[in-house]
Amino acid sequence: MNTIDYSTKRCLVVEDRRPFLMLLKSLLTSLGAKKIHTEMSAEAGVKACKNNRYDIIVSDLQLGNNRKNGFEFLEEVKKLRYIKPSTVFIVISGDSGRSVVLGSLEKQPDDFLIKPFSQAQLNSRISRALERRLNLAPLYQLIEQEDYKEATNSCREFIKSLPKYNNQLLQILVELFWKTNKLDEAEQILNQVLEERQLPWALCAQARTKLLKEEFEQAIKLSKDALDSGVNQVEAYDIIAQAYLALDKKPEALKFIQEALVLSPLSIERHFRVCEIARENENYELAMESAKSIFELSQRSVHKNINHLCSYIRSMLDVAENTDNKSIQNKYLQESLLALYKAKNDESNRTQPDDFDFEIFESIMHARSTFINGKTSDAKKELEQSQIKIEKNFTEYPVALAPDSLKLMLDLGDFEEAAKLSRLIKSQAEKVDSAILYLAKTEARKNKEKQNNYVKHNKTGIKFYSEEKYSQAYEEFAAAKTSCPLNIGVSLNLLLSLVKMIQTSGKPEGKYIVETRELYKFIENMPLKAVHKSKFEHVRKEVEEIIKK
């Protein structure tokens, strides 16, 4: 029997095929609905949600090729808060494939229906979901407002007053404890649940809690117990992979994250984890495939971000850089340039964020390709030209252009500039994705020994120079330059030391004049940022007098 007065509910139906759209409208009308709005695309559905507050939304999953789908529609209206905490969102699909069903559950609609279904089934699902949404609306409102303390109190009260929703409420309570870092409280609640029954969701949640507490072996055991229950717990594979990675068991981590990806390949977050674990295993082609998936999955969604395009192109260069096969290297160098060309000319990418410039990004990518081809001096020139453009065009360094500049700076030994960019990326973590944060961390780690050696010698050289101990300063700067021969800053320091040594020597050695000439030629031929240009101009006249002798 129908327990909802549909006549008072504002409904939205989104379906790209008119016959089924009319059928859904007819089903809702038969249930008593009078305020039914229909749209034939998710894009139109988003606009409708922006302008109206619906009580019930029913959306097909597949809404046309190269169009936003039902998952993306759901994510967008949730993130933009175009729907009320009490709104019911039902996803329907004609595809009962495991990856579709599991992907749907991860997006957390209120329910998921496989076609064909009856009016009674639709009514039952909507009624059940709407009753829960209305009863728990104050709790959902607090969570939406990110008032987690009051939400926790509210959740506890509802557990006492509405025991019929205990299963959902306990899950919400545990998630609130995670958000507020009350891991012991989460563990206590889950222990109580598991003492009564070994529920797969509780096993997974306890495993997640152990992972957050860095008790990795326990996290793995609990996740495997969840998998042994026979239920497709995709999250269990994720947790095992993350725990194995934390234990530095990289091949095992890769195995389990790939299992998760097979089960549910539509999660952007999961593809980020694949990228990280694949790179740790030096499987750059797999990382590239997931970077491509992130880019493609985000294109029509609320997650669209220029960083995803950059990461995809960067991942192709990573493959090229880390292969000994010249034909594979050339293949991916060409594919990266082709992908960049297509993206640059794609209408959907015409509107760029204020902190991004396609031409500068293209020049940085070209510099990376040149470096991979072994032309380090040319790569250095191209990198410096890109940095000069950034200096000229932006008042603050654009974080979207920082990762690839950072990669090249570390490869070429520009450690001072790299340190600045690394700090920038960390300080603006909210603007970048996890792949960029991972790149900054791992590249710095790879170059740590060389960087420490450079910093030590350069710092000591500066000290000696300030004490007018020019010969010792020269030795230190020369040692620093050995670690990074294309570093302009240390080349200038070395040049200054040589000038002072020659000027204070009665009869300077010829090798020092030759070295001065070579350094002058190197710096003269390099594009110089303002700080380097000023320093060079300051000493240019003295250098030219020396090398003319």
- pLDDT single digits (tens) 397-453: 988 898 899 999 999 999 888 888 888 888 887 777 777 878 788 887 888 888 899
Neighbours of 207 (CB within 10 A): 28
The pLDDT, as a whole number, for residue 158 is 95
Q: What is the CATH number of domain 457-547?
A: 1.25.40.10
Cα-based torsion angle of the residue sequence 338, 341, 345, 351 in order, rounded to the nearest 10 degrees: 120
On whether the CB atoms of residues 233 and 227 are closer than 8 A, the answer is yes
In the structure, what pLDDT confidence band is assigned to residue 1 with cuts at 50, 70 and 90? very low
The pLDDT, as a whole number, for residue 504 is 87
Cα dist. 318→62, 269, 486 in Å? 34, 21, 22
Q: Which of 540, 143, 71, 503 is nearest to 303 (CA)?
A: 71
Q: What is the mean pLDDT of residues 45-73?
A: 90
Per-residue pLDDT for 288 more than 80?
yes
Tokens of 104: 């749907």
More confident residue, 324 or 439: 324
Q: What is the CATH number of domain 6-135?
A: 3.40.50.2300
Cα dist. 336→270, 288, 289, 332, 358 in Å? 23, 11, 13, 6, 14
The pLDDT, as a whole number, for residue 384 is 95
Model confidence pLDDT, tens digit, residues 87-121: 999 999 887 666 666 666 677 889 988 888 888 99
Per-residue pLDDT for 327 more than 70?
yes
Q: Which of 101, 54, 49, 102 is nearest to 73 (CA)?
A: 49
Q: What is the mean pLDDT of residues 459-482?
A: 94
Enclosing H/E stretch for 137: helix 137-144
Cα-based torsion angle of the residue sequence 496, 497, 503, 509 in order, rounded to the nearest 10 degrees: -120
Enclosing H/E stretch for 348: none
Enclosing H/E stretch for 181: none
Q: What is the C-alpha separation between 68 and 71, in angstroms, rounded?
A: 8
More confident residue, 90 or 548: 90
Q: What is the C-alpha separation between 399 and 421, in angstroms, rounded?
A: 8
Per-residue pLDDT for 211 more than 60?
yes
In the structure, what pLDDT confidence band is assigned to residue 198 with cuts at 50, 70 and 90? confident
Looking at residue 302, the DSSP 8-state letter turns out to be T
Q: Which of 160, 71, 92, 168 is nearest to 128 (CA)?
A: 168
Domain ranges of the chain: 6-135, 182-251, 265-446, 457-547
The dihedral sign for the CA sequence 124, 126, 130, 133: positive
Angle at 206 between CA 200 and CA 207, to 5 degrees: 90
Q: What is the C-alpha separation between 11 and 23, in angstroms, rounded?
A: 14
Per-residue pLDDT for 382 more than 50?
yes
Place of tokens 């545990």: 174
The pLDDT, as a whole number, for residue 103 is 66
Enumerate residues 6+ apart whose C-beta is below 8 A from 24: 13, 15, 58, 92
More confident residue, 345 or 207: 207
Cα dist. 72→69, 79, 353 in Å? 5, 10, 21
CATH class of 265-446: mainly alpha
Per-residue pLDDT for 348 more than 70?
no
Tokens of 210: 């152990």
% of the chain exceeding 70 in pLDDT: 96
- Among 109-123, 224-238, 342-356, 483-497, name the one with the lowest average pLDDT: 342-356
In the structure, what pLDDT confidence band is assigned to residue 2 with cuts at 50, 70 and 90? low
- Among 21-35, 257-271, 321-335, 423-437, name the one with the lowest average pLDDT: 423-437
Per-residue pLDDT for 352 more than 70?
no
Give residue 32's region: left, alpha or beta (phi > 0; psi -120 to 50).
left
Count how many Cα atoms sit within 13 Å of the Cα of residue 347 in the half-sphere of its side chain: 0
Q: What is the mean pLDDT of residues 262-287?
A: 92
- Mean pLDDT across the chain: 90
Q: Which of 545, 539, 527 is nearest to 496 (CA)?
A: 539
Neighbours of 529 (CB within 10 A): 17
Number of alpha helices (DSSP H) and beta strands (DSSP E) in the chain: 27, 5
In the structure, what pLDDT confidence band is assigned to residue 549 with cuts at 50, 70 and 90? low
SS3 assignment for 11-35 = EEEECCCHHHHHHHHHHHHHCCCCE
Model confidence pLDDT, tens digit, residues 495-539: 999 999 998 887 778 899 999 999 999 999 999 998 999 999 999
In the structure, what pLDDT confidence band is assigned to residue 472 with cuts at 50, 70 and 90? very high
List, edge to edge, every strand of the sheet that includes 35-39. Answer: 35-39, 10-14, 56-60, 88-93, 111-114
The pLDDT, as a whole number, for residue 96 is 65
The pLDDT, as a whole number, for residue 509 is 81
Confidence (pTM)? 0.85
The pLDDT, as a whole number, for residue 229 is 81
The dihedral sign for the CA sequence 246, 252, 254, 260: negative
% of the chain exceeding 90 in pLDDT: 67
On whether the CB atoms of residues 300 and 67 are closer than 8 A, the answer is yes
Q: What is the C-alpha separation between 199 and 84, in angstroms, rounded?
A: 31
Amino acid letter, residue 213: K
Q: Which of 89, 99, 95, 130 is nearest to 116 (CA)?
A: 95
Q: What is the C-alpha separation between 490 and 493, in angstroms, rounded?
A: 5
- Among 200-214, 302-316, 469-483, name the one with the lowest average pLDDT: 302-316
Q: What is the C-alpha separation between 406 and 397, in angstroms, rounded?
A: 12
Domains 6-135 and 457-547 in one fold: no
